[in-house]
Amino acid sequence: MPDTLDTARPTNPFPPVRPDWLARHVEPIIEPNYPIVDPHHHLFDSPTWRYRFEEYLEDLDTGHNVVATVFAECGAMYKADGPRERRPIGETEFVTGVAAMSESGRYGPTRVCAGIVGHADLTLGDAVREVLEAHITAAGGRFRGIRHSTVYDASPAVRCTLHLPPSGLLGDAQFRRGLACLEPLGLSFDAWLYHTQLGELVELVRAFPNTTFILDHLSGILGIGPYTGRRDENFAAWKRDLCELARHPNVNLKIGGMGMHIFGFGFHERPMPPSSDDLVRVWRPFVETCIEAFGAQRCMFESNFPVDKTAYSYPVMWNAFKRFTQGVSDGEKAALLRETAIRVYRLEL
């Protein structure tokens, strides 16, 4: 997702969301009363994305018992003026307003945006602390961490951000000085990068053993552009580096985001949207690898909506995740669908 201090918006690299296409497949909700937490979604109102509180409520009201959610930064509602480094605080103010609306109880039982992951430019180094403190103040007790996107690939055919971060950012000395400000303030770091960059993340995690890290979207396992037709090779490289990362107990993993076109699954190109059984068949080796490497207690299923809505509907996606919990222990099931997110993001429910 976008990660920028710019207010200008280039062309959206994602396929469009097609409600009529999604409506072609409807299936019964699996365990509709089981409480779950969605630890990664976005809210937008911009020329490139429009997914406001109202649209998210429509997805929440499709049958699953989502008790709380965590908002992940996406470059929404930045301040139009003032110091550039403080403009992302506008996003936190915007989301805090949505959270307050949700807490009124007028919009259903879900605690939407109970946790907030915002953006601050970590390349500010030590100076970023002032921005972090402003986020904490603006969020009214909901601010949990920072995401500074580092997704980079040299191929122009590989793109899933509106603005391209520089190469090698995780190893940048100034970036690391900024990241060092998180742990003293009790903040975590959401890492968003491609599978080809996992080695860089391993080195970063080693340097910050006391900081809580969350790897978003399994890391984006590339399957487009120069990575097309190399599924086995890509999977082997990803699994090797993911297992190395899992050796560090301060890292947690979000399982989701696999509706993005960069994975190369091509769900959005099918004449019919996928069923939950279809998703399980395609995702199984990836999901099982994640849970085996990290354990259920450090994994959490996520929606990544509305981005993944280009490939499947909200109820079908959660049905697929619930299918993966069939046959596991009650504790593992609760961790994957709720408890890991509550622990990592310190949600007070």
DSSP string, 15-80: PPP-HHHHTT---PPSSTTSEEEEEEE--EESSS-EE-HHHHHHHHTTS-EEEEEEEE--S-S--S
The pairing of strands 44-45 and 111-118 is: unpaired
What is the phi/psi pair of residue 44, to 5°?
-135, 160
Q: For 78-93, what is each residue's pLDDT tens digit? A: 999 999 999 999 999 9
CB-CB contact of 309 with 244 (8 Å): no
Name the pLDDT band for 7 (thresholds 50, 70, 90). Answer: very low
Mean pLDDT of the chain: 95
Residue 3 has pLDDT above 50, yes or no: no
Using CA atoms, how far apart are residues 137 and 200, in angstroms rounded to an integer? 32
Q: Taking residues 269-286, what's their average pLDDT? A: 98
Q: Taking residues 4-23, what's their average pLDDT? A: 74
Using CA atoms, how far apart are residues 311 and 324, in angstroms rounded to an integer? 19
Residue 119 has pLDDT above 90, yes or no: yes
Residue 46: Cβ-neighbour burial (10 angstroms; 0-12, 13-18, 19+) = middle
Residue 2 has pLDDT above 50, yes or no: no
Q: For 249-266, what is each residue's pLDDT tens digit? A: 999 999 999 999 999 999
Tell me: domain 19-344, CATH 3.40.140.10, correct? no
Using CA atoms, how far apart are residues 237 and 252, in angstroms rounded to an integer? 19
> Closest Cα partner for 1 from 327, 210, 254, 347?
254
CA torsion sign, 245 to 151 to 340 to 287?
negative
Query: Rounded to two decimals, what is the model's pTM?
Result: 0.95
Domain-by-domain residue ranges, the chain? 19-344
Name the pLDDT band for 10 (thresholds 50, 70, 90). Answer: low
Structure confidence at residue 253 (pLDDT): 98
- Choose the weakest-confidence range: 28-42, 110-124, 159-173, 239-253: 159-173
Which amino acid is present at 51?
Y
Residue 48 has pLDDT above 90, yes or no: no
Name the pLDDT band for 159 (thresholds 50, 70, 90). Answer: confident
